[in-house]
């Protein structure tokens, strides 16, 4: 059986089974679903004399000599490898024991980037594999799979084990994809695909196997996403009455003219709210594009229907900002009678009690808050409209907790993390989307520059000049989890240093994650009231405040920040009419960090940045790891395999239309696989 524990396969045993567990492998089936992350075509190698500098290549040869370089600080091991055509030197650092592994005349395969070093070709720290005479058939002369490894498990061992298990159990694998779907798309049976994804006979079959597995992954994931949507929109929701005059009144009340994109989003919201089926919509737009204003329209529409609305934000600062914004915008005019309240965890207990009571009695029309809104004791009289801000900061289940406080309320999700269309379809195929791709007029431009840390003095000088002309500035330091204390000390020291030297005579404030909320708020308030000139901060600013006069930002060690983090940070400036300046102080070393910095200097367009981010990091890392199930997409990539994704989605729609509970016997395997791979979705789907 393919559910046989891997331990019982010949050549494994308890010790190896323990190691395999580190790769997530418990059963034969798990092993067969451990896919290569790349392949090497070892049917013919590039002759060493023909390798090109600057590209990744695979060569094969025998070891001519291996020696430790005793003079090098990084304990280099140098190996000379030759084939009939020539020889190449290879070097590894800080692994002196390697010298005992490399034996003369041993056959070796090397994969890595070839460089030219003192006019000689060299491979620096290549992947290598020693080839033994016995098991050449799996490891040479064919397209060879390269697997993710763990300590104590080698490529050769894995290949052999997988080959054994394929022989014993591949025939038992069951097809998750129903036969009619397979036929429609000319997909091979699972047994054949799994065999060929490990040991493809040629490039054509390799691609076919990859596409087939990708289809299966997309198909399952799309079923999850669609069923989640159905679990919401198949219910009877609240039908709001929305008079055309309401939109007019709303526009008339605002102190500014809505952008075209905002108007469109508001029209979308109005149309959804008027329907009986619950709304499930996401507003995407860059920081500052005016999403919140559009969301407020929905809150007001709920009020005109004598119902309640709730806005949940991920941080207290953000919740407060929404609250004050609402008050500022609507305290006068047609909507001044809307009763609003702010609920955050630091709201005094007494006040909370009153708020709970008023929510229950329907005496509050709009509640704005944080996770505090999820408290079990909170009940509404009639919650009909829910806004979730920065939803990727909340789990899917938290969203469900809040909406459960109403009876199928309309749901609006806001996100400032722009999501390229393809990924959006993969992840949020269950949501309708409104995109706000236009900034309110009258904003200044943001110019971004990158300088090495060595230029910091000159940068500070420039900041000083701008501050003396009336600007306010942010100086941002990274806080990295592992060494938070050290980093914090660095930020504090730097703060004192800046205060004493570069910025003498100016008013500086410091905020960081270890301060209490009151402390942070006090400083933020001072900064807002322009009683401080420069705010030194750790990344807690990321989702922060809206201070138009602050239009200078310096990001220190910018190479340590992720691309979307940099974009979010930079979004704190350029919120006023003045032009803004952002300086990245960075000494990037890795290729990735160079690419990130280039991207952020090149554009302020959040969608372009998001696409770059995806290209650089790949979809699995784009969002927080935990919630989206993207990690389960192993062979599939929504960016490069869009066509397959779209086909799989079509069929997932057909299947779920026929059997939205996955209760048909032929769908049992789908349900069981979802239970295993996407437990977070299954609960939502089948509970609802």
Tell me which residues touch ligand ADP (CB under 6 A).
Answer: 256-259, 262, 285, 287-293, 325, 416, 440, 546
Do residues 515 and 490 make contact, with C-beta atoms less than 8 angstroms apart? no
Distance (Å, rounded) from C-alpha 189 to C-alpha 490? 58
From the list Mg ion, ligand ADP, none, partner contacted by residue 327 (C-beta under 5 to 8 A by kind) = none
From the list Mg ion, ligand ADP, none, partner contacted by residue 314 (C-beta under 5 to 8 A by kind) = none
Among the listed ranges 18-26, 189-197, 268-276, 523-531, the one in contact with Mg ion (CB under 5 A) is: 268-276
Shorter beta-carbon distance to Mg ion: residue 306 or 500: 306
Do residues 160 and 129 make contact, with C-beta atoms less than 8 angstroms apart? no
Shorter beta-carbon distance to Mg ion: residue 270 or 436: 270
Shorter beta-carbon distance to ligand ADP: residue 389 or 502: 389
Shorter beta-carbon distance to ligand ADP: residue 193 or 434: 434
Least distance between ligand ADP and beta carbon 292 (Å): 3
Q: Is 237 in the site for Mg ion (CB under 5 A)?
A: yes
Least distance between ligand ADP and beta carbon 331 (Å): 13
Distance (Å, rounded) from C-alpha 153 to C-alpha 452? 42
From the list ligand ADP, Mg ion, none, partner contacted by residue 410 (C-beta under 5 to 8 A by kind) = Mg ion
Least distance between Mg ion and beta carbon 212 (Å): 41
Among the listed ranges 72-80, 267-275, 493-501, 637-645, the one in contact with Mg ion (CB under 5 A) is: 267-275
DSSP E strands in 534-685: the ranges are: 534-538, 550-555, 580-585
Shorter beta-carbon distance to ligand ADP: residue 20 or 569: 569
Provide the H-helix boundaries in 502-641. Answer: 517-528, 563-570, 591-602, 606-617
Least distance between ligand ADP and beta carbon 156 (Å): 54
Q: Is 390 in the site for Mg ion (CB under 5 A)?
A: no
Among the listed ranges 20-28, 273-281, 619-627, 670-678, the one in contact with Mg ion (CB under 5 A) is: 273-281
Question: Any idea what DSSP says for residue 177?
Answer: S
From the list Mg ion, ligand ADP, none, partner contacted by residue 425 (C-beta under 5 to 8 A by kind) = none
Least distance between Mg ion and beta carbon 411 (Å): 10
From the list Mg ion, ligand ADP, none, partner contacted by residue 262 (C-beta under 5 to 8 A by kind) = ligand ADP
* 493-504 b/e (C-beta count within 10 Å ≥ 16 → b): ebbeebbeebbe
Distance (Å, rounded) from C-alpha 484 to C-alpha 351? 35
Contacts of 560 (CB under 8 A, 6+ apart): 478, 480, 593
Distance (Å, rounded) from C-alpha 672 to C-alpha 678? 10
Shorter beta-carbon distance to Mg ion: residue 329 or 412: 412
Shorter beta-carbon distance to ligand ADP: residue 57 or 262: 262
From the list Mg ion, ligand ADP, none, partner contacted by residue 289 (C-beta under 5 to 8 A by kind) = ligand ADP
Least distance between Mg ion and beta carbon 329 (Å): 24
Contacts of 248 (CB under 8 A, 6+ apart): none
Size of the site for Mg ion (CB under 5 A): 3
Least distance between Mg ion and beta carbon 384 (Å): 8
Contacts of 477 (CB under 8 A, 6+ apart): 487, 490, 491, 494, 536, 537, 538, 539, 556, 557
Shorter beta-carbon distance to Mg ion: residue 240 or 322: 240
SS3 per-residue string spanning 66-109: EEECCCCCCCCEEEEEECCCCEEEEEECCCCCHHHHCCCCCEEE
Least distance between Mg ion and beta carbon 360 (Å): 22
Task: Give the helix, strand, coil percentages of the chain, each rounded to 5.
Answer: 45, 20, 35
Q: Is 521 in the site for Mg ion (CB under 5 A)?
A: no
Sheet of 366-369, strand order: 340-343, 366-369, 308-312, 383-389, 410-415, 280-285, 432-436
Distance (Å, rounded) from C-alpha 268 to C-alpha 257? 18
Least distance between ligand ADP and beta carbon 580 (Å): 14
Contacts of 469 (CB under 8 A, 6+ apart): none
Least distance between Mg ion and beta carbon 273 (Å): 5
Shorter beta-carbon distance to ligand ADP: residue 493 or 605: 605
Distance (Å, rounded) from C-alpha 197 to C-alpha 209? 5
Q: Is 410 in the site for Mg ion (CB under 5 A)?
A: yes
Least distance between ligand ADP and beta carbon 257 (Å): 6
Neighbours of 577 (CB within 10 A): 11
From the list Mg ion, ligand ADP, none, partner contacted by residue 269 (C-beta under 5 to 8 A by kind) = none
Q: Tell the burial category of 264 from Cβ atoms under 10 Å away from its Cβ (0-12, 13-18, 19+).
A: middle
Shorter beta-carbon distance to ligand ADP: residue 293 or 423: 293
Least distance between ligand ADP and beta carbon 617 (Å): 24
From the list ligand ADP, Mg ion, none, partner contacted by residue 434 (C-beta under 5 to 8 A by kind) = none
Question: Any idea what DSSP says for residue 173?
Answer: P
Residue with tokens 């650089």: 616
Among the listed ranges 64-72, 397-405, 406-414, 526-534, the one in contact with Mg ion (CB under 5 A) is: 406-414
Distance (Å, rounded) from C-alpha 567 to C-alpha 288? 12
Shorter beta-carbon distance to ligand ADP: residue 450 or 564: 564
Shorter beta-carbon distance to ligand ADP: residue 258 or 425: 258
From the list ligand ADP, Mg ion, none, partner contacted by residue 158 (C-beta under 5 to 8 A by kind) = none
Do residues 160 and 135 make contact, with C-beta atoms less than 8 angstroms apart? yes
Contacts of 303 (CB under 8 A, 6+ apart): 309, 335, 338, 365, 366
Shorter beta-carbon distance to ligand ADP: residue 262 or 448: 262
Least distance between Mg ion and beta carbon 385 (Å): 9
Residues at the site binding Mg ion, with contacts judged by CB under 5 A: 237, 273, 410
């Amino acid at each position: 059986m393919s559910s046989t524990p891997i331990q019982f396969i010949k050549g494994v045993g308890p010790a190896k089974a323990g190691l395999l567990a580190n790769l997530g492998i418990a059963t034969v089936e798990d092993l067969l679903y451990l896919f290569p992350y790349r392949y090497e075509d070892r049917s013919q190698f590039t002759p060493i004399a023909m390798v090109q500098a600057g590209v990744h290549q695979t060569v094969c040869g025998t070891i001519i000599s291996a020696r430790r370089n005793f003079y090098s600080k990084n304990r280099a091991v140098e190996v000379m490898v030759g084939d009939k055509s020539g020889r190449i030197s290879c070097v590894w650092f800080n692994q002196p024991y390697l010298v005992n592994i490399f034996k003369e005349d041993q056959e070796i395969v090397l994969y890595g980037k070839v460089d030219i070093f003192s006019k000689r070709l060299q491979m620096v720290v290549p992947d290598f594999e020693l080839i033994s005479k016995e098991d050449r058939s799996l490891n040479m002369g064919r397209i060879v799979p390269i697997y993710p490894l763990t300590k104590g498990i080698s490529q050769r061992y894995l290949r052999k084990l997988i080959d054994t298990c394929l022989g014993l159990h591949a025939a038992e694998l069951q097809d998750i994809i129903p036969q009619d779907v397979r036929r429609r798309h000319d997909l091979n049976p699972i047994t054949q695909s799994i065999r060929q994804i490990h040991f493809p006979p040629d490039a054509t079959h390799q691609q076919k196997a990859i596409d087939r597995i990708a289809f299966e992954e997309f198909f399952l994931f799309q079923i999850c996403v669609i069923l989640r949507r159905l679990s919401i929109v198949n219910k009877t929701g609240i039908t709001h009455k929305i008079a055309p005059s309401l939109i007019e009144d709303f526009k008339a009340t605002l102190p500014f003219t809505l952008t075209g994109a905002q108007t469109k989003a508001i029209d979308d919201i109005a149309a959804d709210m008027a329907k009986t089926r619950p709304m499930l919509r996401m507003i995407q737009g860059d920081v500052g594009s005016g999403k919140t204003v559009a969301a407020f329209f929905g809150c007001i529409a709920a009020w005109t229907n004598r119902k309640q609305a709730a806005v949940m934000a991920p941080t207290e600062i953000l919740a407060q900002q929404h609250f004050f914004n609402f008050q500022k915008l609507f305290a006068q005019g047609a909507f001044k009678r809307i009763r609003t309240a702010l609920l955050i965890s630091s709201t005094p207990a007494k006040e909370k009690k009153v708020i709970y009571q008023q929510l229950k009695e329907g005496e509050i029309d709009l509640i704005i808050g944080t996770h505090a809104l999820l408290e079990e004791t909170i009940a509404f009289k009639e919650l009909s409209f829910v806004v979730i801000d920065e939803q990727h900061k909340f789990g899917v289940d938290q969203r469900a907790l809040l909406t459960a406080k109403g009876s199928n309320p309309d749901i609006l999700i806001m996100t400032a993390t722009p999501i390229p269309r393809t990924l959006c379809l993969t992840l949020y195929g269950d949501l309708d989307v409104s995109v706000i791709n236009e900034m309110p007029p009258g904003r200044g431009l943001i110019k971004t520059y990158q300088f090495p840390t060595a230029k910091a003095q000159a940068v500070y000088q420039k900041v000083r000049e701008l501050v003396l002309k009336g600007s306010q500035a942010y100086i941002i330091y990274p806080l990295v989890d592992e060494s938070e204390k050290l980093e914090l000390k660095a930020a504090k020291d730097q703060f004192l240093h800046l205060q004493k030297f570069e910025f003498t005579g100016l008013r500086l404030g410091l905020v960081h994650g270890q301060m209490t909320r009151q402390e942070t708020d006090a400083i933020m308030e001072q900064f807002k009231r322009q009683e401080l000139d420069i705010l030194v901060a750790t990344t807690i600013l990321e989702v922060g405040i809206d201070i138009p006069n602050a239009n200078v930002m310096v990001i220190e060690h910018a190479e340590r920040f992720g691309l979307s983090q940099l974009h979010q940070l930079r979004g704190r400036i350029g919120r006023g009419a003045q032009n803004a300046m952002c300086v990245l102080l960075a000494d990037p070393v890795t290729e990735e960090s160079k690419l990130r910095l280039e991207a952020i200097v090149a554009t302020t367009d959040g969608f372009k940045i998001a696409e770059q981010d995806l290209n650089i990091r790949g979809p699995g890392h784009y969002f927080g790891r935990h919630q989206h199930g993207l990690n389960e997409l192993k062979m599939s990539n929504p960016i490069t395999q869009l066509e397959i994704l779209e086909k799989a989605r079509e069929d997932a729609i057909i299947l779920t239309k026929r059997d939205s509970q996955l209760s048909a016997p032929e769908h049992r395997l789908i349900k069981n696989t979802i239970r295993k791979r996407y437990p977070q979705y299954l609960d939502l789907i089948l509970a609802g």
